[in-house]
Structure 1
């Protein structure tokens, strides 16, 4: 018989093989995202990664060694939480002062209304599973694919549901990236460049989309858009905390939680369900705000963070099959389309009301 240590070492090797396999996909996605045509579309490594993962998952997935699967699953869960924590090094509390309360208010109002409205529409009108409705709403409300990944472990979503939610971000975030500058440049948005930047940062999906849509107008609009967008990203921390408390108090009725978990003591269940990584995310923001970490080190941390997020996206794609996607149907995309209309029209109205006419 094999010794316990030998079995442990064998499992560790298999886990590392799976992680290395996903890392190779992430490296490919990283390189492709820097390629001229892909870069011109504003597609981040995360989006390229999930596309590669889905392509593999629906073609060659059957050839993946079974003992490598733990590494793939760990990439989509354990590494994901670590990546969300490190995402805090992209933000500082000083960012709030740079755009003032106006930019914060635009982002906060749009996040709250989009997430709550999207969840209610998805569950009550379209009859979607609560997990999928929340993922789709989060992708539109906060920061695209990164928000979907952050919310996924809190609501205990399935891989194909996360992939579908990310797909809605790709479609409507890319659309917004081209539509917003066109509307502004044709004089259809009565906002200054700073106001336009707040509008973009407070409503558009991905950070990359916000950069492209803002810079297409001016550097002032681009800078304001990025800062407002990152403030909106910062709000994901309280969202995750509140969402964790809500999910623990009102478990999903879709039967996703098993009976064993349901029978545990409520207090213990709540503690286990609480998204502690959200607090570590805030801690990283605080550390970055103090300026005690050298800029070069922060840059390296941000590169590592994007790579870990890309690994998570690749792994999610590998676990997504078209048969599961077809079962869900077009409802998530219809919901995301309605949220896109709200973000554009409602976001413009909110920005005008807060910043002022011509602001």
Structure 2
């Protein structure tokens, strides 16, 4: 870091402080509502943020809101690496690993093809498919950070976050009933829940509502899906580089810094040297960064823009969710 950058740091901090503070307050309110009413915190953060969308045009708040929606988001994605250890993945054997890789790849490919068939940009299919196949709102935010810039990208990201949050909550209620209907064993029930429900919190809630064994298996399978975030981000970064930078802008790196941070933290976490308290702190910081960032994204979005998306994107996300559930059930039936 050069001397000029150090000198301007206090000025930048003062410039970003109002917008960041507002985003933090919205995130705290969303967390309070989520804890007391049981709905996804990301959904509350989005709705509260959109209610304060007028702040995004305020001269004092706008720089901090932009910074929070961009940089704080990337910090939260990097900290997701604290959730992963190689030991957790190895404990389940090769079959669940193959299942997770297969379902993530197939779901994203089908989503891209479906998006194109419905008249959308293929990258919209990659965004919604990645959110569905990997880890819900967190994956949507991470992919949006790595994908090429587009005038409609923020609206597409917010729509995806709202969609996966709502569908994940619905899945948390319905999917345990599906495991009982098909009389799945505790291990297979855990694989189904961990392989299909979008967000980590809902996976944990659904899994442990059935049994401890089911909950443990569901959580590890879900974390394996989170680990797939890295190669998908790499693919998104390669697409961005292939499209080239904007005129006068620096060409984006092959592997974004937040993806490097994800790798490093996951590697360190796998050594066993990290105390559980530090892991919990990293997970909590990641959650807060993502909630704060989605609050800022909500403030940058006009409600009338989301209302104009139409029926097709909704059908696309429902179709992706149903496809993923059917795919995992078929794989379990085939002996995975």
1:172 is matched with which residue?
167
Whether the 8 Å CA contact 1:132–1:165 is kept in 2: the answer is: no
Select which of 93, 96, 106 maps to 1:113: 106
Whether the 8 Å CA contact 2:56–2:65 is kept in 1: the answer is: no
1:229 is matched with which residue?
222
Gaps of 5+ in 1: 252-256, 262-267
Whether the 8 Å CA contact 1:168–1:332 is kept in 2: the answer is: no
Separation in 1, partners of 2:315, 2:91: 36
- The 1:327/1:63 distance shift into structure 2, 3 A limit, reads closer
Whether the 8 Å CA contact 2:158–2:298 is kept in 1: the answer is: yes
Query: What SS does the corresponding residue of 2:198 show, helix, strand or coil?
Result: coil
- Alpha-carbon offset, residue 113 of structure 1: 0.7
**What is the CA deviation profile of residues 100-133 of structure 1, one whole-angstrom value per residue up to 9, with x for unaligned ones?**
21221221111111111101211x2111133432
Equivalent residues in 2 for 1:186-335, closer than 5 Å: 188-250=181-243, 258-261=246-249, 269=251, 271-272=252-253, 274-335=255-316
- The 1:7/1:78 distance shift into structure 2, 3 A limit, reads closer
- Alpha-carbon offset, residue 314 of structure 1: 0.4
**What is the CA deviation profile of residues 253-284 of structure 1, one whole-angstrom value per residue up to 9, with x for unaligned ones?**
xxxx74445xxxxxx72x53642321220110
1:254 is matched with which residue?
none
- Alpha-carbon offset, residue 170 of structure 1: 1.9
TM-score, structure 1 as length reference: 0.85
TM-score, structure 2 as length reference: 0.91
**What is the CA deviation profile of residues 137-171 of structure 1, one whole-angstrom value per residue up to 9, with x for unaligned ones?**
11111100000010011113532211100111022
Larger gyration radius, structure 1 or structure 2: 1
Whether the 8 Å CA contact 2:56–2:62 is kept in 1: the answer is: no
Separation in 2, partners of 1:108, 1:138: 12
Separation in 1, partners of 2:155, 2:89: 35
The number of residue pairs the alignment matches comes to 329
Gaps of 5+ in 2: none
- The 1:299/1:8 distance shift into structure 2, 3 A limit, reads closer
1:141 is matched with which residue?
133
Separation in 2, partners of 1:82, 1:5: 20
